[in-house]
Structure 1
């Protein structure tokens, strides 16, 4: 799904200030986020787990497991128009897609080219602003349980604390 309204909705000055305050290139932050995403993937049984920051033009994977040598790993993210997380960031609600091929995301290149077939994500909120998501993705359709969402929410609290710690907003 390509949504041209994302950039305007995601570019509020308050959100952009919070995103700009996060030292997302810090190796200690990245290593900690990678550990959390690896744990989430292991506990949920899904092959891919991300901690993302969603900007007005792009989505950055600041913590990841399961991307290996993909173009997403090499580029550190995706265009915002392809971001499943952007939908959740703009609504403030968890976003679950059991079968992406039979959803509003069916024409998304992440589905049609890269083979993403399922998604579940919860918001990451720093200084009162939803800055991104903690999500799990599958290469097959998947029915997500309340346990999956509870695991995401618990890990999202840890991720949020880390992002706050590595923010100059304190």
Structure 2
């Protein structure tokens, strides 16, 4: 991994941690998932998984660690892996498909996090069903964050690639 890529990861991690902390008073609305998706699309699956681990560890130092931290890493890492693989496709993915994927990711995150309850209590379905409204908040929040920050970040990523490779 190059110094350039590490610097981009550090900036994305800082944005994710500050965003998660800033929006912590709202249930399940935070830009972390959207930033992991963007990272995966532009920097690849490994970078997105690194961002998932970094963001979870650093933000949970502020918000609280627990058994859920492992499942957060797993769920955000899985989302990063999928988005990283999507970013490797030879075609440019339109933003509306990225928004749809971000909505799906909100529900995927909630599903994986619900496995925490199964790990502790042995019951999954009641916890998952009770969490569906919060997963919906997460999914809608992801869509809004993608619509707001994807064009800005993609502009800078595209511009930095041009400057890096063409002078």
TM-score class normalised by the smaller sequence: 0.3 to 0.5
Larger-Rg structure: 2
- Which structure carries more helix by proportion? 2
- Which structure carries more strand by proportion? 1
TM-score when scaled to structure 2? 0.41
TM-score when scaled to structure 1? 0.40
